[in-house]
Amino acid sequence: MENKITAPLLETKDLKKYFFTSGGLFSGRKKAVKAVDGIDLTIYSGETFGLVGESGCGKSTLGRTILRLIEPTSGSVLYHGQPIEGRSKEEMRLLKRKMQIVFQDPYACLNPRMTVLDLVKAPLDVFKIGTEQERMDKVVSTLEYVGLGSQHLNRYPHEFSGGQRQRIGIARALILEPEFIMCDEPVSALDVSVRSQVLNLMRSIQREKGLTYLFISHDLSVVRHISDRIGVMYLGRLVEVADKDALYKEPLHPYTRALLSAIPIPDPDVKRERILLKGDVTSAFDPPAGCRFAGRCPYATEQCRREAPALMELRPGHQVACIRAEELVK
């Protein structure tokens, strides 16, 4: 990591988000989809924390719950050590200036009827920051910072490439000078040739402005490129958290090993054994009492099926939620 980690910027304590559905015509009992189920997470100031896992594991829901785009079912989020919940409307309004988001689809999140000027200036208008001329100047300087310019001000989103649209999205997130940005699959909708440009831009911005990122992706290669630490999610829970080098060199959880074995190796002379998972993914409607990965894990025992493993530090800075982790790495 290039920036020295200091104090925690953001923490979650037993954070949960359940979505309740009707039990059906003949049953009044509601069912709960446990999208986020007891997450304890610490993100340090100046770092990029990568969050990976299969589609539907709860990554984006966790990010949106942290930003209060959706309300949590229970648990707490701390920002600079202070709980977010219980704050007044004005305090939350000021906090939202410090916490921004870059979305997955740069076209879907940009109003097609608004020009680039209006799109990027909108946050300044909402928070009534500066005079009209000062806002215009701020928009131009921010666009130039992300590789665009004043010649783009009066154009509409459909006139840009995917990479350019994502730069507009990044400019809109930067315009309020935030401390924390949640990046929700920010390059998954882009061509491979454009991804590295956007990722390098984001890293450059982070170094210069001291930003903190929560980088959500299903692409392990992308996460490795940009992250300092990585958390692996499975069915609403974290199963492993570690420094990126430690995670990729020696993953401790069987699920992490399976994910990493699927990453293509560009060298044809290097062979890697692919770990193929068997069994069906457990439903988030009715997760088992024990380990949620037990039904697909080749090392699962009856104890695994009975007991839910806690996220424990097996090595310095390396946490894993697996009862058998220590014996499996010997």
Tell me the pLDDT tens digit for each residue of 46-83.
999 999 998 889 999 999 999 999 999 999 999 999 99
What pLDDT shows up at residue 269?
62
246 found inside a domain: no
Whole-number Å distance between alpha carbons of 175 and 190 = 23
**What's the token pair of residue 1?**
């990591």
Encode the chain in three state secondary structure: CCCCCCCEEEEEEEEEEEEEECCCCCCCCCEEEEEEEEEEEEEECCCEEEEECCCCCCHHHHHHHHCCCCCCCEEEEEECCEECCCCCHHHHHHHHHHEEEECCCCCCCCCCCCCHHHHHHHHHHHCCCCCHHHHHHHHHHHHHHCCCCHHHCCCCHHHCCHHHHHHHHHHHHHCCCCCEEEEECCCCCCCHHHHHHHHHHHHHHHHHHCCEEEEECCCHHHHHHHCCEEEEEECCEEEEEEEHHHHHHCCCCHHHHHHHHCCCCCCCCCCCCCCCCCCCCCCCCCCCCCCCCCCCCCCCCHHHHHCCCCCEEEECCEEECCCCHHHHCC
306 found inside a domain: yes
Confidence of residue 27 (pLDDT cuts 50, 70, 90): low
Q: 137-141, 219-223, 227-231 — which is least confidently predicted?
A: 219-223
283 found inside a domain: yes
CA-based nearest residue to 206, from 52, 3, 59: 3
Mean pLDDT for all residues in the chain: 90
**Residue pointed to by tokens 């701020």:** 138
Question: Residue 325: left (phi > 0), alpha (psi -120 to 50), or beta?
Answer: alpha
- Alpha-carbon distances, residue 112 vs 44, 105, 126, 306, 314 (angstroms): 36, 13, 19, 52, 50
Q: Residue 25: is its pLDDT beyond 60? A: no
Q: What percent of the chain has pLDDT over 70?
A: 93
Q: Residue 16: is its pLDDT beyond 90? A: yes
Q: Residue 276: is its pLDDT beyond 80? A: no
41 found inside a domain: no
Phi, psi of 75 (to 5 degrees): 90, 180
Those residues with Cβ within 8 angstroms of residue 138's Cβ, 6 or more apart along the chain or in another chain: 121, 124, 129, 130, 175
**What's the token pair of residue 122?**
């909108």
169 found inside a domain: no
Mean pLDDT of 280-297: 85
162 found inside a domain: no
pLDDT tens per residue across span 169-202? 999 999 999 999 999 999 887 888 888 889 999 9
- Alpha-carbon distances, residue 174 vs 116, 235, 330 (angstroms): 14, 32, 46
263 found inside a domain: yes
Please give the distance of CA 177 from its chain centroid, rounded to a whole number.
20
Confidence of residue 29 (pLDDT cuts 50, 70, 90): low
Whole-number Å distance between alpha carbons of 34 and 137 = 46
Residue 33 CB-half CA count within 13 A: 10
162-174 helix and 192-209 helix, angle to the nearest 10 degrees: 20
Whole-number Å distance between alpha carbons of 278 and 288 = 17
**Domain range holding 286?**
255-330
Q: Residue 274: is its pLDDT beyond 50? A: yes
Number of domains in the chain: 1
152 found inside a domain: no
Identity of the amino acid at 253: H
Residue 226 CB-half CA count within 13 A: 32
